[in-house]
Amino acid sequence: MVHLRIVAPTGRSERVVELLEASESTANLVCLPGAARKPAGDVILCDVAREDASVIIDDLRELEIPVDGSIAIEQIDSHLSAGSTRAIRAARGAPSDAVVWEEVEARTSESTELGGHFLIFMVLSCLIAAIGIYLESPILIIGGMVVGPEFGPLAGLCVAIVDRRHDVALRSLAALALGFPLAIGAACLFTLAADATGLIGEDFESSAHLLTDFISHPDTFSFIVAALAGGAGVLSLTSAKSGALIGVLISVTTILAAANIGIAFALGDWSEWRGSIAQLAVNLSAIVLAGVGTLQVQRSLYRRRRRRHRAR
């Protein structure tokens, strides 16, 4: 279930209540006349089956509630109500498969913000991955991939393409365009410092390490794995539960490839450098293509639900 807290102008609150009462997928409807002060109006509380949440919110948008009032959306983790159970049964589909598009847009909008924390995490993840490459340590390599925050802007770009949100797309691209070069530069400088101080041996060559050899040699499986991970990541983002997202971060080698680009540049290993750039490009393009395709399918299913709702 999803809980809606609506502030509606007094002149339109009756229409909102009628709309919510008429829907079989709503429950626990409460109206508090004149309770709102800023903006002034009536406060309406309601629980909605997750499957129909975006449909109901679209109806509220048609009443221009967000213009003069507000709609707050909260996830209900558990409920004890026969009315809520009936509302869930009335809504077609499984709650775990339902997409609340407003929730997705809010998540991706936050994750595309180009802030200090994003850049710091990009740098730290690349440095951890770089040390993992030096030592051929699977634990450090996986650690660097998990710490990397790059999937947020990638998911934001996918949502922006599907929703045709140019502002979100520009923010996502800006985060990626600044984050990756900064992280690669940090890995390069760290490698130069490690080489100068003897932290890595004089005979170290990233291309000679069997454990990380796949980083600079992209193949068909590189694209397939990245595409599968991109689809899984978007499904995790749009579902009520996002536990699969950690597995997605481990599946793709974006951070690992970025770290290896910096290492290869610092050591002058140009074959390894070109291969790592190709790996990074393959991963990024596959994630975006798969993410957009997954969202398009989900959007088509939502439009079909919306049409059925209007036909009632």
**Average pLDDT of the chain to the nearest whole number:** 86
Which tokens sit at 235?
Answer: 């499904």
Summarize the confidence of residues 197-215 as an average pLDDT: 69
List of E strands, 129-287: none
Torsion sign over Cα 13, 18, 21, 25: negative
pLDDT at residue 304, rounded to an integer: 84
- At 80-110, the pLDDT tens digits run 888 888 888 887 777 666 788 888 887 777 7
Predicted local distance difference test score (pLDDT) of residue 249: 65
Token digits of residue 244: 């699969």
Mean pLDDT throughout 218-231?
90
At 223, the pLDDT band (50, 70, 90 cuts) reads: very high
pLDDT at 299 over 80: yes
What ranges make up the beta strands (E) of the chain? Answer: 2-8, 26-37, 40-48, 70-75
**Sequence-distant contacts of 210-215: CB under 8 A, at least 24 apart:** 210/136, 211/136, 211/138, 211/141, 212/133, 212/136, 212/141, 212/256, 212/260, 214/253, 215/133, 215/253, 215/256, 215/257, 215/260, 215/275, 215/276, 215/279
Strand partners, 31: 44
**pLDDT over threshold 90, residue 183:** yes
Check whether 242 has a pLDDT greater than 60. Answer: no
Statement: residue 40 has pLDDT above 70: yes
